[in-house]
Amino acid sequence: MKFTVARDVLSEAVSWTARALPVRPASPILAGVRITSHDQALTLSSFDYEVSANSEIPATVDEAGEVLVSGRLLADISKSLPNQPVRIELDGQKVNLTCGSSHFTLAVMPLDDYPLLPAQPENRGSIDSQVLAQSIAQVSVAASRDDTLPLLTGVRIEIEGEHITLLATDRYRLAMRELTWEPTTPDFSETALVKARILSDVAKSMTGGSSVDVGLSRESQPGASSLIGFSAGGRRTTSTLMDGDYPPVRRLFPDTTSIRAVCERQTLLEAVKRVSLVAERKTSVRMAFSEGQIVLEAGQGDNAQASEAIEGQLVGEEISTAFNPQFLVDGLSVLDTDYVRFGFTHPTKPVIVTGQNESDGGEVLHFRYLLMPIRFGI
C-alpha cells in the first residue's frame, strides 16, 4: 500500500472517523482505524460493535492496499503535521508516514482480528442537514445522563410519512421536536430509539452538505442488530438501535393552559444565568409572573441572594413557581425564536415552554419543552 493525500483532508477524515472509537475498548483491536486505498481514494473506517464510521476521501494511490493502525495516534499525528502532502507507505509490519521533513513510523495492528463493518441500512429518506442538527440539539438536552436508566439516555424517533417527531426525557423534563423530511416512500412508518450522545455526534459532524440521508433496518434473525444509518458528503455512520419500550410521554403535554406568560427569550436567558450564580447545588430559581413583569429570585437565608425583574406579559392569574436553573437555561438556549411563552395549568404542574416570533404573535409549536417545577417554601 502506498498513497499521497492532502494533509488537511487526511486530518479531518481521521479525526472524524476516530470520534467513534471507544475510550476504553473491550479489545485493543477496536482502537484501530482501518485504511483502505483503492481507485484514487481512501476509505477510513472504525467500529466498536455499536457505532461504525466510514469516510471516503480523494488521494493519489500508487499501490492499493489495506492497513489497521491506532486511530487516536494517527489523528493526533495528522493534526500536528505541516501543511504539505502526506505520503503513507506500508513496509512489512510498519507504516511509514512522511510529510515535509516530518517522519513517523506506526505499528500495524492485525487486520484479521478486526470485525467486519455492518452494511449501511436501506435509505429511507433525506432531511435538511441544518434542520436535523437543530432538532437533535433541541431534544438531546432533555435526555438522561444516568446510565442506570438506559432507555432514557436515548432519543425516540417516530416517523409517519413526511413527518418525524423526536422525543427525549430524563423524568424531570421532556423535549419534543416535530419536523418534515423527504421519505423514499410516502407511507413509510417506523419508530426507533437511538442513544442521544450518538445523535449529538451526528448533528455536529454531518452537516457539511445540504441534506443527510437516513437509513433504517430491522433484523429479525437471532443475534442480528437493527440499525440506523446516516450518510452525507462521503461520510457514513451507523448505530445499533436501543431495545425496550419507551414510556408514553406524549400524553404529558396538556391540551390547554389557562395561564400564559410571554417575554423576550434572550433577556430571560441572561437574567436566569445571572440570578442562578447564587443558587447552590440542587436549589432552584424562583419565578413570579405578574402583569408587566417577571421577577426572578435565588438564594435564601444567610446565603448569597439575587433578584432581577424583567418585562413580561401575562394572560390569566398571577403565578409563582420555581425551576432547576440549568434545566431552564437548557430549554431557553435551544429555542429558535425571539420570544418565549410559558403555559401553566397550576404552580405545581409542569410548564410548557414554547417559542413565539413576536411579543403579540402566535405560538410556535414545532418545539415544545415540558419542565417540572421544584417545590419551595414560602
- DSSP secondary structure string, 145-157? --TTSGGGGEEEE
Q: Please choose, from the candidates 5, 33, 30, the residue with its C-alpha nearest in 3D space to the C-alpha of residue 17.
A: 33
For residue 107, the cross-strand partners are 94
C-alpha cell read off for 376: 419551595
Cα separation, 170 vs 156, whole angstroms? 12
pLDDT at residue 359 greater than cutoff 90: no
Amino acid at 279: A
Residues 6+ positions from 259 with CB-CB distance below 8 Å: 289, 314, 315, 316, 317, 319, 343, 344, 345
Cα(23)–Cα(32) distance, integer angstroms: 12
Please check the confidence at residue 369 and state whether its pLDDT lies above 70.
yes
Work out the average pLDDT over 98-108.
96
DSSP 221: S
What sign results for the dihedral spanned by CA atoms 360, 374, 320, 255?
A: positive
User: In terms of pLDDT, which residue wins out, 378 or 265?
Assistant: 265
Question: How high is the pLDDT of residue 378?
Answer: 34
Task: Supply the Cα-derived Rg of the chain in whole angstroms.
Answer: 25
214 confidence band (pLDDT: 50, 70, 90) = very high
Phi, psi of 159 (to 5 degrees): -115, 125
For residue 223, what pLDDT is reported?
52
Residue 213 has pLDDT above 70, yes or no: yes
> What is the model's pLDDT at position 280?
84
pLDDT higher at 376 or 306: 306
Determine the average pLDDT of the residues in 307-321: 96
Q: What pLDDT digit, counting tens, does each position of 78-94 carry? A: 999 999 999 999 999 99
Q: How confident is the model at residue 221 (pLDDT cuts 50, 70, 90)?
A: low
For 164-207, the pLDDT digits (tens) are: 999 999 999 999 999 999 999 999 999 999 999 999 988 888 87
pLDDT mean over 301-323:
93
Q: For strand 292-298 and strand 285-290, is the pairing parallel, antiparallel, or unpaired?
A: antiparallel
Round the average pLDDT of the chain to a whole number and report it: 93
How do residues 127-156 score in pLDDT, each as one tens digit?
A: 999 999 999 999 999 999 998 889 999 999
Instruction: Tell me: pLDDT of 65 over 90.
Output: yes
Q: State how far the alpha carbon of 30 is from the alpha carbons of 77, 110, 112, in Å.
A: 19, 11, 12
The torsion angle over the Cα atoms of residues 269, 295, 376 and 325, rounded to 10 degrees, is: 10
pLDDT in tens, 222-276: 556 799 999 998 899 999 999 999 999 999 999 899 999 999 999 999 999 999 9
SS3 51: strand
